[in-house]
Each structure stands twice: as C-alpha cells, then as structure tokens.
Amino acid sequence: MADAAAATARLDATGLICPLPVLRARKAMRDVPPGGLLEVRATDPAAVKDFAAFCEATGHTLVDSRQDAGVYVFLMRKAG
C-alpha cells in the first residue's frame, strides 16, 4: 500500500455531493504526472462507488480507500 504522505497532489472535496468530487478529481489529475498519486478527501458516501468506477473507466489505480472519522480518503495512482 502506498503512503498517503507520498501523494503528489491533494484534493479536499469534503462537503461536495455527487458528481462534484469525481469531477474535481478528474481536473486535479491533469496536474499529476504519470505514476503520481492524488489523495482525495470526501464526505459523500456515494464517493466510494464513484471513485472505484472513475478509476476503472480512466485506467488510474485506486491504491487505497478508507474511512477516517466520517471522511472517505482515496489514494489514486495516475495511469501512464
């Protein structure tokens, strides 16, 4: 498992509801180099399925997905 501290970029999507966390992550991923890590924090429970589907559709890798004190934390590795 990759260490979240090694994330290339971070996105705070707390308080946003579907589809905004994924849309913001897609935009943030543009600035991440291939193989880089993006950490996203979200509070929308739908984000769990949304980020799994996002990674499957884009070819990015969902490295870690966890819940920490009501906040969902996703760590994704950019494809390429």
Catalytic residues: 18
Q: 42 in helix, strand or coil?
A: strand
Under 8 Å between Cβ of 11 and 28 = yes
Alpha-carbon distance values, 9 to 20, 39, 45, 78 (Å): 17, 6, 22, 11
